[in-house]
Every structure is written in structure tokens, then in C-alpha cells.
Amino acid sequence: MKNPSLQVRYNRRAFKDRLARYFVASGGISVIIAILLIFFYLLYVVIPMFEPAEIRESASYRAPGDGKTLQLGLEEQGTVGVRFTSEGHVIFFKTDSGKIIRDENLHLPASITSVAANLNLVALALENGSVLAIRYKFDLSYPGDVRTLTPVLDYPLGKDPLVLDESGAALSHIDIQLSDDVVGVAATTNDNRLVFARYQREESFISGDISIELESRSEQPFQGEIYAVALTPGLDHFYASAENGRLFDYSLDEDGFDGKKRTYNLEHKITRLKLLLGGSSLLAGMENGEVQQWMSVRKDGGRELVYIRNFVKNRQAVSYIATEQQRKGFAVADNRGNITINYSTSQRTLASINTANTLVDQMAWSPRAQNLIVSDSNNLVHFYKVDNEYPEVSWDVLWEKVWYEGYDEADYIWQSSASTNEFEAKFSLMPLSFGTIKAAFYAMIFAVPIAIFGAMFTAQFMAPRMRQTVKPAIEIMEALPTVILGFLAGLWLAPYVETHLAGIFTLLIILPVGFLLCAWLWGFVPNKSAFEGWEAALLVPVVLLLIWISTALSSPVETLFFNGSLRNYMSNVWGLDYDQRNALVVGLIMGFAVIPTIFSIAEDALFGVPQHLVRGSLALGATRWQTMTSVVLPAASPGIFSAVMMGFGRAVGETMIVLMATGNTPVMDMSIFQGMRTLAANLAVEVPEAEVFSTHYRVLFLAALILFLFTFVFNTLAELIRHRLRQRYSEL
């Protein structure tokens, strides 16, 4: 290296070499990271669902205004709160400071004896047996681009208190339900009567005047003491908690109490009753801190309350239950100031906090459940911020039977959307996983024998020249777009199978019989050695013939044995339901799609068995078949096993075929004549419609993650087995 220009050139080359090294290394590593990213991003979307909720106190102050707090409320964003006081005032205040915005005196004729609230409707029961209903609202305006809220009070039952009890007894407990035209008010009086009144309400569009007309009023006497009452939105049940942990369930109709009454024993004193959103679940808060959820369930023609689940994170007597306004969640407070945030269907207690350290007597959620406002017995108001976006999901919701409202028993249900507000999404992954396994199972039943037997023949018995064309042909089969297979399955095979059901089953029987018959007849053919290894080619016309025969036989067989249609016969005589797009169709076509996967790998394994083993066996006098079963198969069995696993992995993840060849109903039924909904098809259907970062979206990502992990683990196992096998062959 004396020549300096050579030296320079050498240096430049060495530099380039280093550069290339770094470039390739960084490129290669970043590609690998990108691949890992799939896993981590899916995980990143899924994890927030399983994290607990957060609650923190953002302000605490003396209750604004005078008197005791009877009821609290919040506006949409939680910036303004409202407080109904024992003095008959409605006070609007800033939630961050407690500063009063507006103080409205209701000028009540008598003192307030009890209060009920339903969303933004508050009913005040008075000592003289009358009721005043008030709705608080917030008018939103933007004067000078500043968001300004103007509190408004509105009286849906008129400005004057409505006389509920004509004898004028004080109302000790009250509940109210208001719909567009019907109002129901239920109360207990301090002279031991239950009173229920039902009103027709009409609001004039022009003047806004409200006319209230009494439809019915009825009452029932009771013994002892009542601690809490609740009235269902349908005005058909009136629940009351009484002494010794008893819960009374009075049935109502349009004329009031219809005389039916059921009693349930909850063993502990029920301190609070509250209906969850939608009104079909009753929450009973008890003296020992437990909250039980009871649900109205159809039973023997009537409806009955059934114990569903409980929440036990509060240890002291429950002092208040506040239900969320848009979901089936609720907050529970007890007389030591512990507040827990719970969700009914997932049976989760998501967060708890205690900043009051004394009895909490009132709580209210903001409509979107992002804020909670609380007042305690020291007349302090606490304002909490709550971050609780995904309470609906838990392990049990995803994988166990859950008893949902409106159902007669606990079940696995996937139902992600519906039209009504009170609907709650049902996220059981069981029906989907079941459907996935079912589809894969039927595909495997069809594919495994054909692929493995075919691989056995191709690897060991087939003439090399034929093998050269057969292998690529079957590999091309793997490349066929599944959307085409799915389309054929749904629009060609499904109707065909439906009308030729008998033919399909005939084919299952006559195919092997036909092959055996051919083999037997072939024994009589002279000079057949030239055809050795070409048996498969000889059988192709046989297969075609048999298919033709079974098609031709289909109609006569159905006419002869099954009154013309096997499909109708099955449903009428055997009670088997038949979906046109069912597991049989999926099994056939998806089986077709996985055959090449299994075939290709199994054939490689069988073909790779060292030839000296085969020749040795044959030389020792074993027949070709004996060599196959006792030498080749055992040697290649791990490879075949891994082929089957790979095939299963592919069947599990297949989307388009299942999407197009089944009805996509998430049922759990193993019947071959029923459809299913698989995880993959479900993703294809629902992901584009899921709201970004909603619980539904995250559950779908969880489904994707499950598919990812399942196939990845399955394939890795198969790959490891194959690797082992390859090593063993090379040792032999």
C-alpha cells in the first residue's frame, strides 16, 4: 500500500463496506421491529380495557347555600352542579369552587319529607301529601365565543304541587317515573300506606301549557317500617324494602295495585333501592355494605325478581347508590364515606375512594359519568373526576356465561350493537371462538384424510413424472384467492348442496367403495406394471363418474326415501334445522383451501424420509404398504403432525370463505347443518363500523390479538417440530 491513491481508494472502499454493514443492519433490525410492532400495537389497544378506573377528588367545599342537601345533580361537562336543599331552594353552583351561580327559592307550602331523582328530574314530596316535580336543564350559548351555561328550571307536572295523598299525610318515601305522556308516582305515607298514582300528561305545543289528568290512584296498607322504594319505568312494579331484609314487589297495572305481591328475603336490612338504567335491574344496598343486583325475569308466565350478582367492596351500611345515566354502572357510598365505582354486568368494582370519612348522604353522576359529586353529613361537597371508560369488560364477560337483562338465564352472547339507548353491548367471545373452532373442525375433517392420504401416495407411490405436475397443481390451489372460494361456496355450492343433500352423502359412501372396487378389478388387468405409479390418474375418471352417479342418484334417493327432499325431511322428521349456508358448505370449501397447506408440508416430510430406509425395508421383503405404515409413516409422523397444525392454523384465520359461506350468526351449535360466526369474519364485519377506541373497538382488537397469538403459537410449535424432524433425517 505504498501508492497513496490506492490507499485513498482502499479507505473509501472500507468506508463503503462499513456503511453497507450499518445500513443493512439497521434496515434489517427495523424490519424485524416493524413486525414486532403488530403484536405490541394490538396489545397497546387492548390493555386499557383491563386497567382499573381512576377517581380523584378535584375540589371540596362547604355546601353552597343553606340547609341540608337533599339532591345533587351535574350538567353534561360537570362544570355546573345543582343542589336541592331542605329549605326548598335550588342552588346552581360552580363545581370547582362552590361559587353560587343562581339560587332559586321554590316557595314551598310545606316542608320536604323525601326526595326522588330520575336523571335530571327531581320529585320533592311534601309534608302535606303533595308532590312537586322539577327538571333542571342547562341552556348552552356562546356569547362572544365563550361557552356559557344558563340554568333553567322546568316543571313537567305544573308549577303547583300535585296532591298525591288526598288525606294529606306526609310522604316518607317517594319515587317517580316520567315518560312523554304518562307519569307515575309511588310513595309511602307516615300512616303506613303505599300510594300509587298514575297521570296522563299533555303538553300543548303552542303555549307550552301542561295539563295533568289523574288516571288512577290506589293504595295498600303495610305493617312495620319501609326503608326505601323504587318504581319501574314501565309502571308495572313497585318495590319496597321492609324490616328483616324483606323486599316487597307489588305488581301494578293501569288501575294501580293489582293485588299481586311477592316477598323476597335478602337476610340483611336493605338501606337503599335503586333501579339501573333501563329499569329491569334492581340494586339493593344493604346494612353490611353488600349491594345485590336483582333482575326481573320471566318465570311461569309472570315476572319475578331473581338474584343475579353482588358487589361486596363496601364494608359499611350502604347510604347511597347513584346509577350512571348512559351505562349500567353505579357508585355506592356507605356511612363511613367509602365510595366504590361498580359495573353491573362485568361485576367489577373499578375504583374506590374515601375523602369524606363520614356518612355520605347524596351522590350524583354527570351524564357521561366523568364526574361524581358527593355531599356528606358534615355538609361538605366533594367533587370527583372519574376516568372510567371501559367498565363493561372483564374476564367473566368475555369467557363466562353472563346473565344479561332481558334474558331468562345466563348465557354466552355476542351482540355488539342495537338501536335503543338502554341496550347494553354483549361481548362474550365464546360464541365466536366456538364458531372458529367449529369451522376449522369441519374443514379439517374433510381436508386431513384427503391431504394426508394424497401426500402418502404422492411421496411414495406416484410415478416421478406425474409427481412433477401434481405437486405444482396442488400448490396453485393454495394460491387461489379465498374470496373466489367463498363466492363459490356461498352462491354455487350452498344452493347445490341444499338440493343435492342425498347426493353429497351418497358420494361419501360410494367414493371409497368405488376406489376399492377399482383396485379389485385392476387385479385382473394383465400387463399393468407400466401403469404403476399412475393409479391416481386412472382414478380421476372414476371420481368424475362417481360424482355424476351420485348427482344422478340424488333426486331419486330423496324421492324414494325422504318424500322428495332430504332437507325438508330432516327438519320435519328429525327436527334438524337446516341453514342454507352451513358448516357442511364451509367444511367442504375451507377444507379445499387447507388441503394444499397440509398436503405440501406432509408430502415434504414423507418424501424426505431417507431412501435407504425405504429400500432396506423393501429388500427385507416388506410390501410397499408395509413399508409405508411401519417405516415411512413413523419416521415422518412429526412432520405430518406439524402439517395438520399448520392447516388448522390456516383454517382458524380464514376470513372470506366463512364470511361468505355462512350466515354469520353467533350461535353455539355444533350441528353441521347450522352456520356460525368466526372471530375472523366478525372482525371483517364489525371493525369498520366500530367507533374508534370504544370498548367495542378494543374488544375487537382483543379478538385480533387472540387470533394472532393462537396462530403464531400454533405455527411456531409446528415449525419447531418440523425443524426437529429435519435434523433427525440428516442424522440418519
Partner 1 sequence: MINPRLNQWFKTGTPWIWLNAGAIAIALVAVFGLLMLILMRGMSHFWPADVQAFYYKNNENALTVIGEIVESETIPIDTLPDFKKIRNTQAGDKTVTRYLVKTGNRDILGSDFRWLYDINLVKTEQPKNLMVLERVEWGNFYGFLNTVYENDQMVAEGETAWPEFIKRLHRVIDIRKQILQLERVKIGAVNYQLERIRLKERRLQLNNDLSDAAKKEIETQRSELKQQYSDLLKQTKELYQQINRDSIRATVMDGSEVTVPLKKVVKAWQPNKMTLWNKLGFYMHSLWDFITEDPREANTEGGIFPAIFGTVMMVMLMAVLVTPFGVIAAVYLREYAKQGVLTRIIRIAVNNLAGVPSIVYGVFGLGFFVYFLGGNIDALFFPEALPSPTFGTPGLLWSSLTLALLTLPVVIVATEEGLSRIPKSLREGSLGLGATKAETLWRVVLPMASPAIMTGLILAIARAAGEVAPLMLVGVVKLAPSLPLDGNFPYLHLDRKFMHLGFHIYDVGFQSPNVEAARPLVYATSFLLVVVIVTLNITAINLRNRLREKYRALDG
Interacting residues with partner 1 between 33 and 52 (CB under 8 A): 34-35, 37-38, 41-42, 45
- Which window, 21-29, 84-92, 101-109, 407-415, contacts partner 1 (CB under 8 A)? 21-29
Report the nearest approach of partner 1 to the CB of residue 396 (Å).
Answer: 24
- Which window, 189-197, 347-355, 413-421, 454-462, contacts partner 1 (CB under 8 A)? 454-462
What would the DSSP string read from start to end of 653-706?
H--HHHHHHS---------TTS----HHHHHHHHGGGSPTTSHHHHHHHHHHHH
Q: 291 near 285, Cβ under 8 Å?
A: yes
For partner 1, the binding residue among 43, 59, 149, 547 (CB under 8 A) is 547
* Residue 205 vs 524, nearer CB to partner 1: 524
3-state helix, strand, coil in the chain (%, to 5): 40, 30, 30
The verdict on 214 binding partner 1 (CB under 8 A) reads: no
* Site residues (CB under 8 A) for partner 1, limited to 159-188: none
* Residue 178 vs 539, nearer CB to partner 1: 539
| Grid cell digits, residue 556 | 331419486
> Whose CA is closest to 122, among 65, 83, 78, 172?
83
For partner 1, the binding residue among 712, 724, 727, 732 (CB under 8 A) is 712
The verdict on 604 binding partner 1 (CB under 8 A) reads: no
C-beta atoms surrounding 552 within 10 Å: 12
For partner 1, the binding residue among 2, 17, 207, 263 (CB under 8 A) is 17
The verdict on 553 binding partner 1 (CB under 8 A) reads: no
- The distance between the two most distant Cα atoms of the chain, rounded to a whole number of Å, is 122
- Which window, 77-85, 240-248, 375-383, 471-479, contacts partner 1 (CB under 8 A)? 471-479
For partner 1, the binding residue among 47, 214, 445, 476 (CB under 8 A) is 476
The verdict on 462 binding partner 1 (CB under 8 A) reads: yes
> Whose CA is closest to 585, among 438, 696, 701, 424?
438
Report the nearest approach of partner 1 to the CB of residue 363 (Å).
Answer: 36
Q: Is 718 exposed, middle or buried (0-12, 13-18, 19+ CB in 10 A)?
A: buried
Report the nearest approach of partner 1 to the CB of residue 552 (Å).
Answer: 10
The verdict on 634 binding partner 1 (CB under 8 A) reads: no
* Site residues (CB under 8 A) for partner 1, limited to 647-686: 649-650, 652-656, 659-660, 680, 683-684
Q: 392 near 345, Cβ under 8 Å?
A: yes
| Grid cell digits, residue 478 | 393454495
- Residue 135's Cβ-side half-sphere holds a number of Cα atoms within 13 Å equal to 14
For partner 1, the binding residue among 6, 100, 214, 480 (CB under 8 A) is 480
Q: How far apart are CA 198 and CA 218, in angstroms?
A: 9
The verdict on 535 binding partner 1 (CB under 8 A) reads: yes
* Residue 244 vs 716, nearer CB to partner 1: 716
| Grid cell digits, residue 492 | 354455487
For partner 1, the binding residue among 8, 140, 410, 473 (CB under 8 A) is 473
* Residue 220 vs 482, nearer CB to partner 1: 482
Report the nearest approach of partner 1 to the CB of residue 78 (Å).
Answer: 25
| Grid cell digits, residue 657 | 370463505
Q: How far apart are CA 22 and CA 24, in angstroms?
A: 6
Q: 321 near 331, Cβ under 8 Å?
A: yes
The sheet carrying 237-242 orders its strands as: 226-231, 237-242, 246-253, 256-265
The verdict on 539 binding partner 1 (CB under 8 A) reads: yes
- Which window, 57-65, 264-272, 376-384, 562-570, contacts partner 1 (CB under 8 A)? 562-570
* Residue 206 vs 525, nearer CB to partner 1: 525
The verdict on 580 binding partner 1 (CB under 8 A) reads: no
